[in-house]
Structure 1
């Protein structure tokens, strides 16, 4: 990662929380969103950007996904999918 001041740092993961409503317009420039600004994903894992994943989106994969009750299960699913894909140093969660 290169910070604004030009300092370089190796990172394994970046976690960004956008609040109660998805606010991911900043991802448009990397091809992660469709024309309407919706993340292109399957089960929370980006279809277009390797190593990118989402949690907390509606119906991802259940009605509870966009709630605190469902996000934990979805996070486990996303992390395991990223680990299987070899993204970074993630280890599967059991």
Structure 2
């Protein structure tokens, strides 16, 4: 797991930086992103700032699996795949 993100990519726990084109976080059942604190990706309560799973304040950052992310089923196995596909399509460098 990475320890923080930067404008260029991610910093791994051992301090090694790695450039990344996009970062998608599969949130699971709890919204907890301590590694995004101070990045501008979260509101004051620690919730992601996003529109449809695409971060509104951090380029190339996406989320998947959040309740009502794009639909009623977003937080379920039935809906997360559609949302993940949407996010990946929006973050794809081919776009």
Structure whose alpha-carbon radius of gyration is higher: 1
TM-score, normalization by structure 2: 0.72
Aligned to 1:80: 89
TM-score, normalization by structure 1: 0.73
- What per-residue deviation string (whole Å, max 9, x for no partner) do you get for residues 40-70 of structure 1? 0000000000010000011111010011110
Whether 1:22 and 2:31 are equivalent positions in the alignment is yes
Q: State whether residues 53 and 87 of structure 2, in contact with CA within 8 Å, keep that contact through their aligned partners in structure 1.
A: yes
Q: Which moves more between the two structures, 24-33 or 4-13? A: 4-13
Aligned to 2:73: 64
Distance in 2, Cα, partners of 1:25 & 1:74: 23
Alpha-carbon RMSD across the aligned residues, in angstroms, is 2.3
Which structure dedicates a bigger proportion of its chain to strand?
2
- Ranked by relative contact order (alpha carbons within 8 Å, sequence separation 6 or more), the top structure is 2
Stretches of structure 1 that go unaligned for 5 or more consecutive residues are none
Distance in 2, Cα, partners of 1:66 & 1:29: 26
